[in-house]
Structure 1
Amino acid sequence: MGLLSRMFPAALVAAGMSGFAEAETLTAAPGQPLQALLDGARAGDVVKLAPGDYHGSIRIDRPLQLVGTEGAVLDGDGADNVITVSAPDVTIRGVTIRGSGRDLQAMNSGIFLQKTAERATIEDNRLVGNLFGIYVHGARGSRVARNEVEGLRGGRLSEAGNGVSLWNAPDVTIANNTFRYGRDGIFSISSSKDRFVDNRFEQVRFAVHYMYTNDSEVSGNVSIGNHVGYAIMYSNRLVIRGNSSDRDRDYGLLFNYANYAQIEGNRVTGGPLTPIMQKTEDGPDDERGMLPQPKRESTLGTGPEKCVFIYNTNHNKFRNNWFERCAIGVHFTAGSEGNEITGNAFVGNANQVKYVGTRHLDWSIGGRGNYWSDNPAFDLNGDGVADTAYRPNDLIDRVLWTAPAAKVLINSPAVQVIRWAQAQFPALLPGGVVDSHPLVAPPKSRASKETR
């Protein structure tokens, strides 16, 4: 047999032809042609990789398990996909996978699941220095779990791929993975009924990026220090629950043409980031990725600019979320209608609300509104609801939005008189957001993961 060892050869021979129906474990060693071993395997076999480096791309075209022992590394040597899977019911577990090609048009990936690779299981692997980590290209019913995915470093974001890309692949679960570097942590387009659960994202552009993906769930995820936490676009009937965004730069949550979603128990928190070390321009090559070098110390800023941005987003339920220490708590614009915004906490934001519009919007439902940390109202009857309505914006805010240079006058007596007059005579106030039943204490955040 030369390039493999079969664990039960004598038993198979004794059993005759019926033995070929039973699964075997085939063991490969470095330096032997792995593709030949895979081509010789039968459906249900386990191909076990001994420790060491295996070079070159491979293809799996029958249902089997590819299992690595500690120290087993598949290296694509910078060309094509490292692993291409075309068969259903394939499992890839416990392997370090590195060195895919760099062709964005060809979608070069550490693991590429073709449409026929339904119900694939990708778990407990380490993918490092690939263009795309894992590409689920139509492979419905697949599961990606407990992997560590580190994308490309040292180049332009536009030339990097995503940790996991998912296209037209319903019923996919992506759970308990860690994503660092590259473009987006998880990018989903034109899919449905998928679940992204309990993943962790650091130093990427968008932690989760949804485009045209419906009837799906994003829950229990943690985003730390990325450009945007959760970007939900052109998608309907989603559940966005129990996620956290910790010091993401621009937005914690971004909704653009997202409708009929349940957005509950999420937490967005701003504040200074821990200093990080920037790489040198000519740092050493670390297995297709760049090592951070001690060039200079800097921070990624306080972030985010906006806890949540709501743009042309309709008929959603924002409940029991926590938005804290952002430049703007919520930016609400572009004709968003029919949204329920209640039970949320807006804590210590420089501007609680930026509303671009002239309509009157009441952010309370059934006698229950939201908590505003800058609301000085009383609760004389002790029912947990303030005795007076809360208005986060006035005419002066509108002047500042259109003419930021006017900030130099914000503490002038004239401005203070105008604000006092508006508070005494609400009829002078423009259209905008009002919370007619503001809460006097914040609800508990349901974000399920600690940010360590």
Structure 2
Amino acid sequence: MKTRVRHLASLVATTFMSFMIVVATGLLCAWAGLVLASPAASAATRLVAPGPDALRRAIAAAAPGDRLELQSGTFHGPVVVDKPLTLEGENDSVIDGGGKGRVITISAPHVTVRGVTIINSGIRLDIEDAGIYVLATANDALIENNRFRHNLTGVFLKGPKAAVVRNNDVVGRKDLRMNERGNAFHIWNSPGSVIENNTVRYGRDGIFVTTSKDNIFRGNTFRDLRFAVHYMYTNASEVSHNLSTGNHIGYAIMFSQNLKIEDNVSRDDRDRAFLFNYANYSLVDGNFADGGAKKCVFIYNANHNVFRDNIFSGCTIGIHFTAGSEDNEMVGNAFINNRTQVKYVGTRHLEWSVAGRGNYWSDNLAFDLDGDHIADRPYHPNDMIDKVMWRHPLAKLLLNSPAVQVLRWAQSEFPSLRPGGVVDSAPLMSPPKRRQYKGARS
């Protein structure tokens, strides 16, 4: 009896193992068939020689996943990339749009455009002419190491998810009036997209983004533009380690919330280094403005933000704060050699220190007798006379008059005479250390 039981158990085990081997073999064959049938497995590299219609023919003949290697010379656009492909050029591979429409339109996902020079788009803003135009169906586009010249807009992201635009060099139009030019990078509803390590000169705005979320703009360099970064209705995103120089405005952050504005540099921008308009619940940390802008920072109806460890230097006005902006935390910032450190148009009393730590003011002739690196007396950046001058500019003629000097003396001796405004109860004796700029290009 025991022998028959052992024989039956052995037979069952052998049958089960044979069944598992058959199943595993079938699964392996099916997986191998999928791999062999996938575009990646069958991808080919195709050399494409220049010619009037060569690139269009090559795209039509290519299989999904193919790499089109563009040889030296000029290829003619416009072209549409409607399948997953890589377009990669040599140092002097040029795609010329001929001044009409969009040079390259990408309508398929997983398309890469790398290492080419893209020139001569059309100049119509109403139909969104651009060097590269990426449609909403073209998720995960990668646009890198290209050169853009004489295009209306460099790269236009019209709705794709998770596009990456990096290491490109964009020179925009100078032959058009500024409001007729396009932007280097124009982003609309492109969640998760990244614009990084690009250089931009001329055109209208460096980055214009609207109605998007979860974007990262970092390590870019912007010169000779209207706005370096123009930010509208875009939430939960990051602007970091960018350099703006010689633009009308550096960073214009508007109608957005839950942002991280970190370690950016504004140098020699003309009107505003940083502008916050209806920007809420954001962290503004470690930024640096220098070089004579009219206003280092302009805050208009922006609420519940944290301004921390920024340096605002050499501007006509260090920070202009107005229009009901409330509950903004100001701590650890440095206001250095601004003609007017703070212009606050309002009557409320605003405390600019947190937990016994305030900000550094270069014009605060203070003492620190207990050696705790905090000044012994509070600092008031504005007084009654400042407010009179803002409201009545002609009163500046009386600025050095005996009457004005008496009013200032009385206010210093009787603090109850001070109007509402900013007070820093724990001013710092030294500024925060300026952080290292980490952008790709300076």
Alignment check: 8 A CA contact 1:218 1:240 kept: yes
What is the CA–CA distance in structure 1 between the aligned matches of 2:362 and 2:299, rounded to whole Å?
21
Return the offset for 1:447: 5.2
What is the CA–CA distance in structure 1 between the aligned matches of 2:412 and 2:150, rounded to whole Å?
58
Return the offset for 1:18: 9.9
Choose the corresponding residue for 1:330, options 319, 343, 346. 319
- Tell me the equivalent position of 1:148: 169
Structure having the higher helix fraction is 2
Return the offset for 1:154: 2.5
Q: What fraction of aligned residue pairs are identical, expressed as a percent?
A: 55
Matched, 1:54 2:75: yes
Matched, 1:222 2:243: yes
Alignment check: 8 A CA contact 2:265 2:288 kept: yes
- The 5 A counterparts of 1:175-186 are 175-186=196-207
- The 5 A counterparts of 1:5-404 are 22-31=42-51, 33=53, 34-270=55-291, 303-404=292-393
What is the CA–CA distance in structure 1 between the aligned matches of 2:191 and 2:153, rounded to whole Å?
20
What is the CA–CA distance in structure 2 between the aligned matches of 1:222 and 1:35, rounded to whole Å?
38
Alignment check: 8 A CA contact 2:311 2:333 kept: yes
Code of the aligned partner of 2:92: G
- Tell me the equivalent position of 2:394: 405
Code of the aligned partner of 1:374: D
What is the CA–CA distance in structure 2 between the aligned matches of 1:67 and 1:449, rounded to whole Å?
28
Aligned Cα root-mean-square deviation (Å): 1.5
TM-score norm. by structure 1 comes to 0.88
Number of residue pairs matched by the alignment? 405
Alignment check: 8 A CA contact 1:241 1:447 kept: no
SS at the partner of 1:185? strand
Alignment check: 8 A CA contact 1:358 1:430 kept: yes
What is the CA–CA distance in structure 2 between the aligned matches of 1:435 and 1:94, rounded to whole Å?
52
Code of the aligned partner of 2:45: T
Code of the aligned partner of 1:140: K
Return the offset for 1:132: 0.5
Structure 1 gap ranges (5+): 1-15, 271-302
Return the offset for 1:415: 1.2
Choose the corresponding residue for 1:426, options 412, 415, 426. 415
Give a deviation string over 1:298-337, Cα, whole Å, max 9, x none: xxxxx31000000000000000000000000000000001
Code of the aligned partner of 1:343: G
Give a deviation string over 1:108-159, Cα, whole Å, max 9, x none: 0000000011000000000011000000111110100000011110321110
What is the CA–CA distance in structure 2 between the aligned matches of 1:358 and 1:128, rounded to whole Å?
51
Code of the aligned partner of 2:141: A
Alignment check: 8 A CA contact 1:222 1:449 kept: no
Return the offset for 1:403: 1.4
Which of the pair has more CA radius of gyration?
2
Q: Kindly tell me: are residues 17 and 333 of structure 1, through their superposed partners in 2, closer, same or farther at Cα, counting changes over 3 Å?
A: closer
Code of the aligned partner of 2:121: S
Alignment check: 8 A CA contact 2:88 2:115 kept: yes
Give a deviation string over 1:14-41, Cα, whole Å, max 9, x none: xx99999511111111115210110110
- Tell me the equivalent position of 1:291: none
